[in-house]
Structure 1
Amino acid sequence: MAKILQANYMAKCIGCYSCMLACARTVRHSFSLQQSAIQIHTAGGLQSRFLADICRGCSEPACAKACHCGALLPRNGGGVRFIPEKCLGCQECVEACVVKTIRFDHTSNKPLICIQCGSCTRFCPHQVITMEVREDGR
């Protein structure tokens, strides 16, 4: 059974960005936080908590429906598979994402999109982000 990312424990987040670095390193082969498909940021203010912008693993992903070149394919259990070789850089997926977590990298002319690989979860020191089977079975 496929799993999807969950950020149910953000109160434990210390803002170390280990999850972002893991994503950038393992998926994009980069040491830049800008290359991460997951983004950690504060809600604002000096003592605010951290928030995670992550793919919600839609069971019927709008980004895949908007992709006319076949670079994004729905993944069993939710989310998408990304085939970079097929991507034309049209940015339709960025516009279609209902939670606005897909960003576009103008250097590579490809989207920065979460593929639900779980790299971020393995490097989170406080298990803030986890991979879980979706409760409703979608």
Structure 2
Amino acid sequence: MARLVITDVNKCVGCMSCMFACSRRFGEGGLAKSAIHVSSIGGVERGYKVVVCRACEDPPCAAVCPTDALVKRPGGGVLLKAEKCIGCGNCARACPIGAVQWDFENNKPIICVHCGYCAEYCPYGVLQLVR
């Protein structure tokens, strides 16, 4: 099973192309539905932080879900069963790297599914889908 990896965060220039690409999975034009997050840690001089699910083998987000809305994904990480989610936010609080983004419109987590769509749009090769 494939998983998304950050190959070299130092190559990131903060263009957010990956975030825009991810949001398009949901038919959105902005950044609100992106499962990946890029932010500045001091601009071009100090670099950028790229936060994306690291595909934990024993995901803490799934462990704290009271409705089993997050199920382990083969190869690591989780998949969201949105119909089971009650929007409690436990998953977002449990992620040690802050990779669970939040859909405020639907009050549900935005979970990276490791599709690699974002990597296709990264012009600097920061992200890669590994099989």
**Deviations 1:95-124 (Å, cap 9, x if unpaired)?**
111212213222211112212121111211
1:115 counterpart (90, 96, 113): 113
Which one-letter code corresponds to 2:2 in the other structure? K
CA distance in 1, matches of 2:124, 2:43: 23
1:20 is aligned to: 19
2:127 is aligned to: 129
Relative to the length of structure 2, the TM-score reads 0.90
Give yes or no for contact 2:34–2:101 (8 Å, CA) kept in 1. no
Deviation at 1:46, TM superposition (A): 5.7
Q: How does 1:59-78 map to 2 (within 5 A)?
A: 59-78=57-76
Which one-letter code corresponds to 1:129 in the other structure? L
Give yes or no for contact 2:79–2:111 (8 Å, CA) kept in 1. no
Moved over 3 A (4+): none
CA distance in 1, matches of 2:104, 2:31: 15
1:44 is aligned to: 42
**Deviations 1:36-66 (Å, cap 9, x if unpaired)?**
1101111125622122011111001011111
1:85 is aligned to: 83
> Which ranges in structure 2 are unaligned for 5 or more consecutive residues?
none
> Which ranges in structure 1 are unaligned for 5 or more consecutive residues?
134-138
The structure with the greater share of residues assigned to strand is 2
1:35 counterpart (29, 33, 36): 33
1:136 is aligned to: none
Percent identity over the alignment is: 39
Equivalent residues, number: 131
Relative to the length of structure 1, the TM-score reads 0.86
RMSD (CA atoms): 1.6
